Amino acid sequence: MKVKHGKLVIIGAGKVGSAILNSILRMNVVNDIVVINRNRDKALGEVLDASHTTAFAYSANASIRVGDYEDCADAQIIVMTAGPSIKPGNSRDRMVLLEQNIAIMSDVMSKIVKYTTEAIIINVSNPLDILVYVAQKKFNYPKDKILGTGTLLDTARFNKILGDICGVDAKNVTGFVLGEHGATSFIPWNTVNIVGISFHNFEKQFKLTEKINKNKILEEMKTVGLDIVELKGYTSSGVALSACRLVAAIMRNEKCIVPVSVVLDGQYGITDVALSLPCVISENGIDKILEIPLDEQGTSDFQHCVSHLKEVLENCCYSPSQTTVTLPRKTTVCRKKTSTTVKMTMVFVF
């Protein structure tokens, strides 16, 4: 079936799914929204509530309805939010959701692929990178059409933290958080700048009275989302807007560059894992996965992230074969390359 431009399917009508529904209406980029939820009454309530907002200015006059997986057949984008989220008390580790959400993702994907392999799938559920990998590998979904919000929200949090320190709008901060949406995410500090001012010149240029503590910023970026869970019981606004940012980029064919979780296909010598790297996003999904220059610390952090995610996959689920990973070291200073080899054998059982 031909893809219907402007059609969005949201799977899951919980706190994140409903936040995405309400946020995307304000962006005026979709004209047909279908909500799928196990509890249809809950979905109907969210749909009715959101539909009334279309009468206000700046809200899209979109068709909003409750549907089923058949509605995925001509969808341009499917956003996956189904499954439990981390709760107060166990919010320090997204991996506690692993077993249950792998089962839910597998069930949802088995229903989606009955009707389409053309829709672009955006995963929001955790543990995000593992679920992106499982969904793509188990169902052989096109790699350029399945992604996760990944470190897009982590990047927004980092930019906000650093912008506040320097006294500038966070939107003027250029810097990505890469890797896992979780404990092994990292910041390639050699690429961080504000309007071309490199990170090591921030104290002087912005007249800061204290030296910027990179470790403190990294720790705050990693834990602030978990702190939100402890304070209000869940996160919704930030992750919803991250998903909506991707929906808008796809609908508008923006070809913008944002960090999202994708299954790697040889970038930095890595395969058989999903994590966040800067990607060019267009109406086709992932146009390009970019390899930005990493200094020695960034390369080490990246390798640690890859090893961690592959270990999780080995312990819980999937690898098609024995894999040898060769990670090139890249540095903008000496421009020399060395390599580190990591050998892993992984067994997948669904």
12 annotated to bind ligand:
yes
Name 262's bridge partners. Answer: 275
Prediction pTM value: 0.89
Q: How many separate domains does the chain show?
A: 1
Residues 310-334 have pLDDT tens digits of 999 988 756 533 333 333 333 333 3
pLDDT, residue 317, reads: 57
- Rounded CA separation 178/155 (Å): 8
- DSSP secondary structure letter of residue 96: G
pLDDT, residue 338, reads: 35
Q: Residue 307: give the domain boundaries.
A: 1-350
Give the mean pLDDT of the chain.
89
- Interval 269-286 mean pLDDT: 98
34 annotated to bind ligand:
no
pLDDT, residue 336, reads: 34
Which of 46, 38, 52 is closest to 21 using CA atoms?
46
- Rounded CA separation 308/301 (Å): 11
45 annotated to bind ligand:
no
Which of 103, 40, 97 is closest to 67 using CA atoms?
40
- Rounded CA separation 150/147 (Å): 8
pLDDT, residue 93, reads: 57
285 phi/psi in degrees, rounded to 5: 105, -120
16 annotated to bind ligand:
yes
Sheet holding 193-194, edge to edge: 173-174, 193-194, 197-198
pLDDT, residue 3, reads: 83
pLDDT confidence of 84, banded at 50, 70, 90?
Answer: confident
CATH number of the domain within which 241 lies: 3.90.110.10
Q: Is 181 a catalytic residue?
A: yes
Task: Give 218-234 as a DSSP string.
Answer: HHHHHHHHHHHHHHHSS
- DSSP secondary structure letter of residue 14: S
Residues 179-202 have pLDDT tens digits of 999 999 999 999 999 999 999 999
17 annotated to bind ligand:
yes
pLDDT, residue 318, reads: 62
Residues 59-74 have pLDDT tens digits of 989 999 999 999 999 9
pLDDT, residue 319, reads: 58
225 annotated to bind ligand:
no
Catalytic residue among 181, 200, 304, 308: 181
pLDDT confidence of 88, banded at 50, 70, 90?
Answer: confident
pLDDT, residue 341, reads: 33
